Structure formats: C-alpha cells, structure tokens
Amino acid sequence: MSKINKRDLQRPSGFPDLSPVQAIAIRDATSIIREEYELAGFSPMTTSIVERPEVLTAKNEGEILNQIYGLRLLNPASDAQDDSKELALRFDHTVPLARYVATLYHELEFPFRRYAIGPVFRGERPKDGRYRQFTQADIDIIGNGSLDLLHDAEMVAVIARIFTRLDVGTFTIRIGHRKVLQGLLQAVGLQDEVLQAKALQEIDRLEKIGRKNVTKNLCDIGMSEVNAEALLQQLETTSLDTLTDLATENSLLREGIEELSEVLHGVEAHAVDSAHYQLDLTIARGLAYYTGTVYETRLDSNPGLGSIASGGRYENLTGAFSNHSLPGVGISIGVTRMMKRLIQAGIYPADRKTVARVLVAQATTSPKTRIQALEVAAMLRQQRIATEVYIDSARLAKQLQFADRRGFTWVVILGIPDMEPGHVAVRTLATGEEERIPIKLLPTKLS
C-alpha cells in the first residue's frame, strides 16, 4: 500500500481534533449544559446536519452566504443519481428549527421548546484561524401568534444556572432591548433606518474602541456632538427610570421600556442572583434579526473572551418558510469556542486524561493472574467503578509509569509472589502508598 505524504495527514485549519483531555472536559461541560436545558423543560430535537441550500439561503444575507458549504461526491459512480447539489451543511441551529417548525406546524404543540446541541459549519477563511466546525448548544421557545415576555426572563435563569454550575468564576448576563435602543436613537433625532443601523454598529463597538471614538464616529454619520453624547449617556444608564421622561414622547421607547421592565421582573421571580445580571442598553446583537430582548454574557475575570452565551427575542422565526406568525426567544452557547478558550486560559480544568480511575496491573504474569485481572475488572465494573486492565505483558515498572502518565488514581496489583491468597495490593499513585487488602474490599476502597 502506498503511503500518503505527511502534508496530507495534517489537519485542515479550523477543523480541530479534541484530545482525550479536551474531549473529557468538554463532555463534562456539555453534560452540564444539557442537564440545565432539560431541567428547564427543554427537550432535545435533532435536525440533520444537512439541509437543502434553498433553506439555508432563504432568510439570510450578507457574509454568511459566502460561508455555506455544499456537498459534492468526490468520485460519483457513473450510475449514481447524484443529488449532492441539493445538499449543504447547516451553519446554525436556528434555520433548521425554522424549517422544522414550518413543516410540522400542524403537528406541534405551542409554545414549542427544544434544545439542540451539535456541530455547525462555516466556511470562514482558513487564514483567519477561526473554527470552521464548532458545536453550538441552543434553546428556543416558539409561540404560535404570540409568546409571553416572561419566557425571555427564563433564558436569563437558564444561563445563570449553567455558568454557576460550570464554576468558571463570576459572570454577568447583560440584558438589553432592541426597541429601547432604537427608540433612543429616534429620540435624539435619528429617524432614518440606514443611519440607525450604522449608529448601532458603532454602539456595538463601545467596549472595543471607547466612548470618545464612538462619539466621533456618530458625528461622522451625521449626529451632533451634543446628541451623540446625550445618547451615550442614556445608553449607559443602569436603571430604566431615568429614561421615562424621554419615553413619554416616543412610543417605541415606551413600549421597549415596558417590555424590558416586565422581563426584569420575571428574572427576579426566577430567583436569579442579582450579581449575575445587569441592564445594558448598549448591546445590539444581530442587527436585522432580534426585535426585543437581547442578551450577552461575559466572564467578569475575562471579558476579552467576548460573549459566551447570547441570544434574544425575534418577531418571526419562519418568515421565509411559512405564513404563520411564530415569535420566539432563544439563546446559544458556542461550546467549542468557549471551552477551548476557557481551557486555554486555565479557567476550566482540563487535567483528566482518562475517565477511569483504576488500572489493574500484574507484578508477575501467568495464565492465572491474567484471568484474575479480568475477573477483578469485571467485579469493579459490576460495582460501577470505571476500570482499565493492563493485560499486555510488561514489567510492573512500565505498567506503573503508564498508569502515572495516563492519570489513574489507583493501581490494583495482582501476581505479587508473597501475597496472601485472595488479596491484592492497591497503590495510590499520588502518594506512592501501597496497601494489601482482600479482593472483596476493593469496591469499598476504590469508590
């Protein structure tokens, strides 16, 4: 068989492997996210990774259209009915959800709530070093015709429980509102929607480029310096009360303030620790997409990670797919990106190389000790203790080195010549301590 050359064995950039250490850590975190989604009554609903290109492009515009991967058969058999031009990889979980809900509208019970955890694909330019395959963990609630605002509050409670359990330090969920933001722009005289969009883009960069630069840029798109400064001051408020005067004159702003107040009341009722969230009127998120509440989440110790859980309320999920009005609210956690960064920054522990804590080894080997090793492992597994057996012949020192490098906690050693019958040695790797105990006490000792 001809060898392929080394260059061809290299990973294409943006499609990383997860080593056992990373995979164990990410699996643990994903389990927590899944458990919390389920605790809040979200059930899994899993769409295929492959959608029709028409579905993926129907509602979207801009950059994402250049990032969608279609499929093609590498070597189509001559007789194959090759339909691969009708196949493409999803770039998020929202479009597939919209397609699913539009197609099964008459069979679903609303509000329809589901979670989705799985890979999505985006053809970012490889030189940018971004992930091109990554796992997203989403929840959404979809209403039929209308959807109560208190669902928006629930999202905050779910995010708070997840990051409390992930134990990655203090975090802040920022809650904003598109109507309040847009209303404030109107209140300072920015009526034109194109100019509003430009202003929102600038406001989105407040943290990155600072207030002074944003003021300047707002002036560049036609605002007076007085208005720009007034706007930024209003956006930086931490209480909705300060905006009430402006709201009497602007119905969009009034509506936004009322909605946001209701959501904040709901967050309180959900018993979310007030240290975990704050009003932040500067967050805009997907400009064309969200229409009400918007969320971002930052780690207080590491705001540079960017938002680790984001989302918001959208007026209609299925615009391009159905004539029904299906408002929704949802959040998304970019698991791969977040976890790789949390691990790299030392914020999330990734130190387990094996899920098993016990290795069964042999000091001397014989057909009898080999069989005994399997029997001991079978007994421990019967007691739900994850166990690996070193059955290949090797000196004990090599087996202990293997155990150490792989990160086991205990080694159970069989085949020690002077051992009492029915006994084994248990070595605790961290201390090097070794103890001889009856085999039947192993489950107690090792749990």
Taking CB under 8 A as the binding criterion, the range among 44-52, 176-184, 241-249, 415-423 that sits at the site for its own copies is: 44-52
Taking CB under 8 A as the binding criterion, the range among 180-188, 208-216, 235-243, 268-276 that sits at the site for its own copies is: 268-276
Taking CB under 8 A as the binding criterion, the range among 189-197, 211-219, 364-372, 420-428 that sits at the site for its own copies is: 364-372
DSSP code for 321? T
User: Which residue of 197, 219, 302, 319 would you call a contact of its own copies, by CB under 8 A?
Assistant: 319
Q: Which is nearer to its own copies, 183 or 266 (CB)?
A: 266
Task: Tell the smallest beta-carbon distance from residue 239 to its own copies (Å).
Answer: 20
Task: Tell the smallest beta-carbon distance from residue 238 to its own copies (Å).
Answer: 22
Q: Which is nearer to its own copies, 146 or 242 (CB)?
A: 146
Which residues neighbour 164 within 8 Å (Cβ) at sequence distance 6 or greater?
276
Determine if 395 is a binding residue for its own copies (CB under 8 A). Answer: no
- DSSP strand pairing (43-44 vs 112-121): parallel
The residue type found at 118 is G
User: Which residue of 337, 370, 423, 445 would you call a contact of its own copies, by CB under 8 A?
Assistant: 370
Taking CB under 8 A as the binding criterion, the range among 169-177, 208-216, 342-350, 370-378 that sits at the site for its own copies is: 370-378
Sign of CA dihedral 124, 125, 131, 132: positive
What residues from 136 to 195 belong to the interface with its own copies (CB under 8 A)?
143, 146-148, 150-151, 153-154, 157, 161
Q: In this structure, are residues 173 and 156 in contact, taking their beta carbons and an 8 Å threshold? A: yes
Q: In this structure, are residues 403 and 411 in contact, taking their beta carbons and an 8 Å threshold? A: yes
Helix/strand/coil for 115: strand
Task: Tell the smallest beta-carbon distance from residue 24 to its own copies (Å).
Answer: 6
Determine if 315 is a binding residue for its own copies (CB under 8 A). Answer: no
The token pair at 272 is: 């979310």
Determine if 397 is a binding residue for its own copies (CB under 8 A). Answer: no
Task: Tell the smallest beta-carbon distance from residue 251 to its own copies (Å).
Answer: 23
437 burial (CB, 10 Å; 0-12 / 13-18 / 19+) is: middle
Task: Tell the smallest beta-carbon distance from residue 303 to its own copies (Å).
Answer: 28
Q: In this structure, are residues 267 and 235 in contact, taking their beta carbons and an 8 Å threshold? A: no
User: Which residue of 209, 226, 275, 355 would you call a contact of its own copies, by CB under 8 A?
Assistant: 355
What residues from 45 to 84 belong to the interface with its own copies (CB under 8 A)?
45-55, 57-59, 65-77, 80-84
The token pair at 343 is: 């691990």
Q: Which is nearer to its own copies, 63 or 418 (CB)?
A: 63
CA distance 241 to 247: 10
Helix/strand/coil for 392: coil
Which residues neighbour 432 within 8 Å (Cβ) at sequence distance 6 or greater?
none
* Stretch 272-311: interaction string toward its own copies, x if CB under 8 A: ----------------------------------------
Determine if 251 is a binding residue for its own copies (CB under 8 A). Answer: no
Q: Applying CB under 8 A, what is the total number of residues that bind its own copies?
A: 125
Sign of CA dihedral 325, 329, 335, 341: positive
Task: Tell the smallest beta-carbon distance from residue 1 to its own copies (Å).
Answer: 5
Task: Tell the smallest beta-carbon distance from residue 190 to its own copies (Å).
Answer: 25
Say what the alpha-carbon torsion angle 150, 154, 156, 161 is, to the nearest 10 degrees.
160
DSSP letters, 334-353, are EHHHHHHHHHHTTSS----S
Determine if 95 is a binding residue for its own copies (CB under 8 A). Answer: no
What residues from 416 to 445 belong to the interface with its own copies (CB under 8 A)?
none
User: HSE (CB half, 13 Å, CA atoms) of 410?
Assistant: 23
